[in-house]
Amino acid sequence: MKLHTICLRTLLIFSWLLALVISAPLVAHTLSVPIPGKQSILRVGALPDPVTQKGQAIAKLIMEGLDKKDNAYLQKARVELGSLLKKENIGGNYSALYWITGFMLQADESEKSSYIDNALDQSYIDFFIADDFANLKEYLQRKYQVNNFQPTDPEQHIVRTQFLEDMVIFNNPARSTWDSVTEVMDVIATLGADIKKVIDVGAGFGFYSYRLAEIVGNDGTIYAVDTSEPYIAQLKEMTATYSLGNIEPIVSAEDDINISEETDLVFISSLYHVLYSWSQHEKRDPFLKSLKKALRTNGYLVILDNNFNFGNELHNSYIEKDFIVAQLY
């Protein structure tokens, strides 16, 4: 298969995630992309952790533990969750509920605080435990239909379930155990002290924006950009409440990144396979153009997406690295 591409310096990190760092200036040449066997070059993936009877039973146990304020239910749920980890998928809902129940089962405040590494972890657990676990209970009801929950707001139900699901999965404090979080941030930290303005594209609830803000320091800025208004509203509230660093949450459009100034680095995590496979040319082309315009000459583009996996990882999405490179030019 012949693909036209431009690529100068590329750096790859393989583990569950694949990171691709490309720095300009770029020179055009033709690249042959070997596709081993019958492996696909792109897989969108399934929804993370489809609802199963076992999942529903676990969710019911957690809900009972919360309603009756009885940790025995949570303990039982946690044992069940532990048995599902690795067998089902890594980094999905079960991993998150495993972390949350683990936190709740800590004996006292000092043990609980040892579970928390940073301000973003704190915002995560606060989100789920505030107001007598309102958001956690809502998630268990909407996702697992606990207590025979029937949504009265079908459209809002889809949006809200996705919101809670993305929060539960992508801001899970244990994410570094399956994503190459530290490794990727270490690479970015070595790119140079002149990396001060960064765009986090599809920032979600700021899992990476927070870490990028730590790298650029007080005189840098992370433009945390997302097409979802409710996500950006939530991120604004979190940055204000938890002092998450110099993060500027911005609502973007599908065809425009909405950043008018030049930046040093554009970061895209867990989004490129979606951008490429779902968005149409009419939106994607101007979007990528606006992204390119917002990146200075000799700036860096970092794409973090799923490496090839065998079906055990978060919703099995996957995109071939050389295919991404070929896509960009």
Q: Could you list the residues that contact ligand SAM (CB under 6 A)?
A: 166, 170, 201-204, 207-208, 225-228, 231, 252, 254, 269-271, 275, 279
**Beta carbons of 143 and 165 less than 8 angstroms apart:** yes
Nearer to ligand SAM, 65 or 202 (CB): 202
CB 35 to ligand SAM: min, Å: 25
Q: CA-CA distance, 310 to 13, in Å (whole number)?
A: 18
**Beta carbons of 5 and 30 less than 8 angstroms apart:** yes
Nearer to ligand SAM, 63 or 225 (CB): 225
**Beta carbons of 326 and 315 less than 8 angstroms apart:** no
Nearer to ligand SAM, 133 or 231 (CB): 231
Nearer to ligand SAM, 302 or 325 (CB): 302
Supply φ then ψ for residue 63, to 5 degrees.
-60, -40
Helix (H) or strand (E) segment spanning residue 291: helix 281-293
DSSP three-state, residue 274: helix
Nearer to ligand SAM, 95 or 270 (CB): 270
CB 250 to ligand SAM: min, Å: 10
CB 264 to ligand SAM: min, Å: 18
Both tokens of residue 189?
A: 């930290």
Nearer to ligand SAM, 104 or 215 (CB): 215
> How many Cα atoms are found within 13 Å in the side-chain-facing hemisphere of 65?
21
Both tokens of residue 94?
A: 């079960």
Name the residue type at position 111.
E
Both tokens of residue 113?
A: 């605080």
Supply φ then ψ for residue 290, to 5 degrees.
-65, -30
CB 6 to ligand SAM: min, Å: 23
CB 12 to ligand SAM: min, Å: 18
CB 304 to ligand SAM: min, Å: 7
Supply φ then ψ for residue 6, to 5 degrees.
-130, 125
Cross-strand partners of 250: 225
Nearer to ligand SAM, 63 or 250 (CB): 250
Q: How far is C-alpha 64 from the geometric centre of its chain's CA atoms?
A: 29
State the CB neighbour count (10 A cutoff) for residue 295: 20
CB 170 to ligand SAM: min, Å: 4
